[in-house]
Amino acid sequence: MKKNILIIPGDGIGQEVTTWGKEVLNTIAQKYNHEFTFDEAIMGHTAIEATGNPLPDETLEKAKASDAILFGAIGHAKYDNDPSAKVRPEQGLLKIRKELGLYANLRPILLFDELLDASSLKPEVLKGTDILFFRELTGDVYFGEKNRNEDNTFASDLMNYHRYEVERIARKAFEAARTRSKKLCSVDKANVLETSRLWREVVQELAKEYSDVETEHMFIDNAAMQLVKNPKKFDVVLTANLFGDILTDEASQIAGSMGMLASASVGDGTGFFEPIHGSAHDIAGQNKANPLASILSAALMLDIAFGLQEEAKEVTNAVAATLKAGWRTGDIANAETAADKILGTKEMGAKVLEFLK
């Protein structure tokens, strides 16, 4: 199979981790006789520094022309403490999601048994958890009109949804539920928000069409609580952009660390694959970041963008084998982990490659 992959490392630890996602794709290509070619582009703070634009036209053109994109992370502390900055790294990510029509963000909470003790939650609460989040990605308060009055005493962000936006992501979630345990939980705040009432109405209508799927509706506050109380009760979770952003960071603690979770953003065009973690400038350039989320994002690319299920499974198995052999990065180590089992980014990436070969 011939594929043209665009690597966008982005900011902070993005560069370090995408190196290993790419290495894994290369290894798979060699092993299975695929022809993957790679190009690279800039986005975020890195792109602002170079061009003044968080998403340069050249990056967008390359993205549209590629078969899949492996992205690292975005953001810089400098902007977090400067709310007045008009040009911000995150704008690059939001714009590329919109431009590529990536309305569905799939975030699997993949729990490796070896990491049951890396979480702050009890192993017996976690064991057996397998959740697939469908986070809507191109609507909601993220993209609504923003306002600030002149004397800076008022600001607003418009939360809004069109029926078609809810329907197309809900359909993807229902289809996925059919291939899993036929359970779907739609999360909203329909007791308060009009957008959530529209959301619930659309999901209820679709539920009739997918009557073989057991559909449940839950308020976001309750879902946040249930997720740590009894994560096993969830299978496919469907939710809006902002709720999904928050809920999936919470859910990452089920898998032990943000450094473990991969995501796939899909929709109308080229698929976009990225860890759910941020740019982590505090550890950037120190060989400390966990490369597994990027490696697992590469696995999602093989599976979802290229339909290479066997190859994707190989990658996940190599990650499992690495963890089984006891290797850990700092974020997933615990008090009992021997110091000589704690690896840097490069060493961890290299271990996965060893198991893959």
Binding residues: 97, 107, 135, 221, 245, 249
Between CA 288 and CA 275 the distance in angstroms is: 16
Alpha-helical segments (H) within 233-344: 241-252, 292-300, 309-324
Question: Which of the listed partners (ligand IPM, Mn ion, none) does 75 bind, with a CB threshold of 5 to 8 Å by partner kind?
Answer: ligand IPM
- Minimum CB distance to ligand IPM smaller for 174 or for 275: 275
Q: Is 245 in the site for ligand IPM (CB under 6 A)?
A: yes
Residue 140's alpha-carbon distances to 98, 192, 240, 260, in angstroms, are 12, 15, 7, 27
Letters for 273-312 (x = contact with Mn ion by CB under 5 A, - = none) are ----------------------------------------
54-57: long-range contacts (C-beta < 8 A, 24 or more apart)? 54/87, 54/88, 54/89, 54/90, 54/91, 54/92, 54/93, 54/95, 55/91, 55/92, 55/95, 55/96, 55/99
Residues that bind Mn ion (rule: CB under 5 A) add up to a total of: 1
232 is catalytic: no
Out of 6, 96, 223, 276, point to the residue binding ligand IPM (CB under 6 A).
276
Phi and psi torsions of 135, nearest 5°: -100, 125
Between CA 36 and CA 53 the distance in angstroms is: 29
Identified catalytic residue from 142, 161, 188, 288: 142
Helix (H) or strand (E) holding 217: strand 214-219
Alpha-helical segments (H) within 143-269: 163-179, 194-209, 220-229, 241-252
151 is catalytic: no
Question: Which of the listed partners (ligand IPM, Mn ion, none) does 238 bind, with a CB threshold of 5 to 8 Å by partner kind?
Answer: none
Nearest distance in Å: CB 291, ligand IPM: 18
Q: How many residues does the chain have?
A: 357
Out of 117, 157, 245, 250, point to the residue binding Mn ion (CB under 5 A).
245
Mapping DSSP onto H, E and C, the string for 105-165 reads EEEEECCCHHHHHHCCCCHHHHCCCCEEEEEECCCHHHCCCEEECCCCCCEEECCCCCHHH
Question: Which of the listed partners (Mn ion, ligand IPM, none) does 93 bind, with a CB threshold of 5 to 8 Å by partner kind?
Answer: ligand IPM
- Minimum CB distance to ligand IPM smaller for 244 or for 256: 244
Q: Is 237 in the site for ligand IPM (CB under 6 A)?
A: no
Q: Is 17 in the site for ligand IPM (CB under 6 A)?
A: no
Residues that bind ligand IPM (rule: CB under 6 A) add up to a total of: 6
324 is catalytic: no
Q: Is 75 in the site for ligand IPM (CB under 6 A)?
A: yes
Residue with smallest beta-carbon separation from ligand IPM = 90
- Minimum CB distance to Mn ion smaller for 117 or for 245: 245
245 is catalytic: yes
Contact between 240 and 107 under an 8 Å Cβ cutoff? The reply is: no
Identified catalytic residue from 3, 22, 172, 189: 189
Residue where the block lists tokens 């994109």 = 69
113 is catalytic: no
* Binding residue numbers for substrate: 97, 107, 135, 221
Residue 135 token pair: 């986070």
Chain residues in the site for Mn ion (CB under 5 A): 245
What are the catalytic residues?
Answer: 142, 189, 221, 245, 249
Chain residues in the site for ligand IPM (CB under 6 A): 74-75, 90, 93, 245, 276
